[in-house]
Amino acid sequence: MLVLPTLSWPSTTGLRLWRSISLRFVPKRPLLRTRRLSCSQYEKQFGINITISIESEPLGTAGPLKLAEHVLRKDDSPFFVLNSDITCEYPFKELAAFHKSHGDEGTIVVTKVEEPSKYGVVVHKPGHPSKIDRFVEKPVEFVGNRINAGIYILNTSVLDRIELRPTSIEQETFPAMVRDGQLHSFDLEGYWMDVGQPKDFLTGTCLYLTSLAKKGSPLLTPPTEPFVYGGNVMIDPSAKIGKNCKIGPNVVIGPDVVVGDGVRLQRCVLLAGSKVKDHAWVKSTIVGWNSTVGRWARLENVTVLGDDVTIADEVYVNGGSILPHKTIKQNVDSPAIIM
């Protein structure tokens, strides 16, 4: 969960730059130092302060807001709450302006889906375009097609509704706000994806890259580069690309990645410090930090490599999920978790 406080309403933009961000973590000690180092990097890069809120026990989706109350109530400005496992076009300025216009306690962003029976559906009050009347979980009959997109803007008064205990904002806080007529919805335009699972993460990456391409974003590598095939390729400037490679469509290559000669990459993400050696073939795969894919290796079918994984030369991995610090020397012919 991400919490973005310190909001105001200048007449020109409707939104002030965030000066602080609160990140919520359930403590996992081996990871905590890494997270703090990453936060320090982003603080310097973006000129912001990042506060890590550590839970001694999991507090659900509302309890962490109460835990961070001392940060969120430094002033009376509304704050954003984001589920960190989604990707979309984040309409912060428009959302902030809409929230201010209706004057009630909360606004949740909703997105329209083709099969609402799989989700909890947001239903508006009759004759009202945004005020929420109720939530219907996995409706059998059609009552609407808007679902919670996991992005909220809330007034600090919402914190008075939350106790410091394991609490669900979706099942406890929001229904109480609805009963008091204090919750509205805001329609999200453009793409949206829950990226909490590897296959969805890859799909979400494709949607994000497609969105950048439509905007003509300079973040994408120019399609005129000889190794770009099919477009939608993002490569960090520190990465090194070998000769005669074929990369794309829908590929992200992170910082300090090394790609050897004759490598084929498509619909994949190579995280920081990873290496793909000569003539490897990687498709629908997430290559973890500092991992190595050997020469002539072949990875596909939503393969996921954890941190510091080594795939030996000429090894085939079909849908394998490889835990960190493992070396794979034999083929993984069918999807499996390798511990």
Given the residues 118, 138, 215, 240, the one annotated as active site: 138
Answer yes or no: 138 catalytic.
yes
Q: How far is CA 93 from the centre of its chain?
A: 19
The neighbouring-strand residues paired with 49 are 20
In angstroms, rounded to a whole number, what is the distance separating the alpha carbons of residues 173 and 332? 46
Helix (H, G, I), strand (E, B) or coil at 117: helix
Residues 6+ apart with CB under 8 A from 18: 4, 5, 6, 7, 48
DSSP state of 262: T
Strands 86-88 and 192-194: antiparallel
CA angle 48, 62, 89 (to 5 degrees): 55
Answer for the pair 231, 249: CB distance below 8 angstroms, yes or no. Answer: yes
Active site members: 138
